[in-house]
Amino acid sequence: MSQSLSPEYLTSLGQQFGTPLYVYHAEKIKEQYEKLTTAFRNSNTVFFYACKALTNVNVLKYVCSLGANVDCSSINEVKLALYAGFPKERVLYTSNGIGFDEIAEAVSLGVIINIDSLSNLEKFGQKYGGTYPVGVRLRPNIMAGGNLKISTGHDKSKFGIPVDQVEKILALVDSYNLDIADLHIHTGSEIKDVDVFVKGIEILFELIPQFRSLRFIDLGGGFKVPYKDGDAQTDIQLLADKVNAAFANHPNPGGRPLQVWFEPGKFLVSECGYFITKVNVLKETDAATFASVDSGFNHLIRPMFYDAYHRIENISNPNGAPRRYSVVGNICETDTFAWDRTINEVREGDYLVFYNAGAYGFEMSSNFNSRYKPAEVLIKDGQAHLIRRRDVFEDLLRNQVEL
């Protein structure tokens, strides 16, 4: 059965904790994780939670307790993951464009590292040679994902070392006796077509025989989840079947079995999240009826940044007559969450909830307009726990140096 929180319960949370409020439902994360492990149960596959989607330390601890590994995109995420209790063997740092000092720090912390430039790979070789295993992030030059902003594997993307430069990687492997443990590709987000992953594997199969110490193949993240009714999603069982078939048809070099890694972010935490806001003002105009909520792109930027669609429901008036609204925020920028959206009649003071708010919601929030970041609540075992207090005025002055 699919886990979800009812409008009545969300309303009570809005009343108890105030708005704007992020709410995460732990058991939904578990449900998603189990979809993955169930689909891949007959293969040697490991899942690394791409934690940049949501890094609250309580979420990290929960994901750790499920048995997942973790993928980090900065040295601070690495430190948060270790702090949350992930053992270093389960922490992967997939870097891009970082200074070598962060790579050296990751080595000293003992975590798994993917390097995404020839320059850092060479520095790595000079410093560590073959004494510390390392992965290489490749750019497969394939287009995938929802749109250009979230596609990372195409031939103009900054991410990874282009596969056409593999000779240069191999030259570094030779020069420094590098122990290349994994090859990594991550082609983007919201990939509904599982054949994109298969295409990535096929590109890797041509390279695999040239990397003699390879143990792992890392296929990245980007599984799509539905944002609205009828939305496509990645068919995880089909993905598992195709990945298994692809590996069955390509015997591993030297007969050594390769373990497959994935790095799901959005898939694990998108649907667990709800963002509850309150309607401050209703404004009737010729063009639209605006419902202004106590938030903006300072709290949830995906609609403005990616044109992302988030389902919005009036949980205070579920039986109200449907009407059309432009849902906007309260900051001094155009911050439209939804243009001309049908919602049950909205009154000032009503709670509007945004669904799929777990991934890249709070995580991309800011203090723009000197507004407070929202509070976060985790629902676990039927209990609501405050896991981040709302900012207070002192937080706005914190770190400022007064002259």
Ligand X SMILES: *Cc1c(COP(=O)(O)O)cnc(C)c1O
The residues annotated as belonging to the active site are: 332
Nearer to ligand X, 186 or 371 (CB): 186
221 binds ligand X (CB under 6 A): yes
Q: Which of 358, 274, 357, 295 is nearest to 10 (CA)?
A: 274
140 binds ligand X (CB under 6 A): no
180 phi and psi angles, rounded to 5 deg: -80, 110
Interface stretch with ligand X, choices 119-127, 216-224, 296-304, 369-377 (CB under 6 A): 216-224
Nearer to ligand X, 20 or 220 (CB): 220
Q: Helix (H, G, I), strand (E, B), or coil: what is residue 341?
A: strand
183 binds ligand X (CB under 6 A): no
Residue 112 has which token pair? 């798994």
What is the Cα gyration radius of the chain?
A: 23
**Taking the CB of residue 316, how many other CB atoms lie within 10 A of it?**
21
Interface stretch with ligand X, choices 12-20, 164-172, 263-271, 296-304 (CB under 6 A): 263-271
Interface stretch with ligand X, choices 117-125, 264-272, 350-358, 365-373 (CB under 6 A): 264-272
| Spatial contact of 298 and 361, defined as CB atoms under 8 Å apart | no
Q: Which residue is nearest to ligand X (CB)?
A: 265
Taking the complex as a whole, the smallest distance from the CB of residue 264 to ligand X amounts, in Å, to 5
**Taking the CB of residue 374, how many other CB atoms lie within 10 A of it?**
26
Q: How far apart are CA 107 and CA 113, in angstroms?
A: 8
Taking the complex as a whole, the smallest distance from the CB of residue 146 to ligand X amounts, in Å, to 9
| Spatial contact of 277 and 354, defined as CB atoms under 8 Å apart | yes
Question: Which are the contacts of 221, defined by CB distance < 8 A and separation ≥ 6?
Answer: 50, 71, 186, 189, 262, 263, 264, 265, 266, 267
| Spatial contact of 39 and 233, defined as CB atoms under 8 Å apart | no
Residue 318 has which token pair? 């579920």
278 binds ligand X (CB under 6 A): no
Taking the complex as a whole, the smallest distance from the CB of residue 141 to ligand X amounts, in Å, to 17
Using the rule CB under 6 A, which residue among 117, 189, 292, 336 binds ligand X? 189
CA distances from 319 to 175, 323, 343 (A): 70, 12, 10
Taking the complex as a whole, the smallest distance from the CB of residue 191 to ligand X amounts, in Å, to 8
88 alpha carbon, distance to own chain's centre: 20
Using the rule CB under 6 A, which residue among 140, 264, 303, 329 binds ligand X? 264
222 binds ligand X (CB under 6 A): yes
Residues 354-383: x where in contact with ligand X by CB under 6 A, - otherwise, as a string:
-----x------------------------
Taking the complex as a whole, the smallest distance from the CB of residue 346 to ligand X amounts, in Å, to 31
Taking the complex as a whole, the smallest distance from the CB of residue 360 to ligand X amounts, in Å, to 7
Nearer to ligand X, 269 or 327 (CB): 269
Interface stretch with ligand X, choices 17-25, 163-171, 218-226, 342-350 (CB under 6 A): 218-226
CA distances from 354 to 11, 29, 336, 337 (A): 13, 18, 13, 9
Ordered alpha helix ranges (H), 277-373: 302-305
Q: How does strand 273-284 pair with strand 351-354?
A: antiparallel
Q: How far apart are CA 288 and CA 325, in angstroms?
A: 7
Q: How far apart are CA 146 and CA 220, in angstroms?
A: 15
Tokens 């709410």, residue located: 23
Site for ligand X in 9-68 (CB under 6 A): 50, 52-53
Taking the complex as a whole, the smallest distance from the CB of residue 400 to ligand X amounts, in Å, to 31
Using the rule CB under 6 A, which residue among 20, 153, 265, 374 binds ligand X? 265
Using the rule CB under 6 A, which residue among 220, 273, 361, 374 binds ligand X? 220
Residues 76-115: x where in contact with ligand X by CB under 6 A, - otherwise, as a string:
------------------x---------------------
Return residues touching ligand X (CB under 6 A). 50, 52-53, 71, 73, 94, 186, 189, 220-223, 263-267, 359
